Amino acid sequence: MADDPFALFDAWFAEARASEPNDADAMALATADAEGRPSVRMVLLKSADRVSGFTFHTNSLSRKGREMADNDAVALLFHWKSLRRQIRIEGRVASAPVAESDAYFATRGRQSQLSAWASDQSRPLGSRAELEERQAAMEAKYAGEDVPRPPHWHGYRVEPRTIEFWSDGAHRLHNRRLFTRGEDGAWSEGLLYP
């Protein structure tokens, strides 16, 4: 048994990046509103480490952003079908530092930067033409200039409390390894029935 779930995550993630045909960094993000009504969607992992946890970026005014503001308990799920593996993570989410969000935003493609301004993510949209007009307006506004990061677009970090590694087994005798972080920050490991 290992005592460091991040070392195991790094190994599995490296294998997924080598074998998954698309988006090995895609993870399901589950949130819940203040009343506990759940919602789930895919986001992209930007970094994972022992200090910062699992980082992704999004619009804080979107449904997920509003839900994370109301309820910081979240769950993540990586599913790598080609490897017949998944990793489940549960923990608390918090905003990443502004400088980190600025640095990552600067690496995004220009059209993606502009769309961060053009889209009122998760809000009703009257027509596709309306979105395309807003995108064109942002292109005109920032013509010949760097596109600044919108104040509502930033990074989030999930500090894991549990990390479960699941791998497929014959006859549904799957392997489930559960790492749990104690109050002292140390990880303990156990097994779960499949």
* Res 174: pLDDT: 94
Q: Locate the domains of the chain by residue range.
A: 5-108+151-191
Rounded distance between C-alpha atoms, residue 153 and residue 71, angstroms:
18
The catalytic residues are 172
Q: What is the pLDDT of residues 86-145, one digit of tens each?
A: 999 999 999 999 999 999 999 999 999 999 999 999 899 999 999 999 999 999 999 999
CATH of span 5-108+151-191:
2.30.110.10
Rounded distance between C-alpha atoms, residue 191 and residue 194, angstroms:
9
Rounded distance between C-alpha atoms, residue 33 and residue 130, angstroms:
29
Q: One-letter amino acid identity for 126?
A: G
Q: What is the pLDDT of residues 139-168, one digit of tens each?
A: 999 999 999 999 999 999 999 999 999 999
Sign of CA dihedral 121, 148, 102, 22: positive
pTM, two decimals, is 0.93
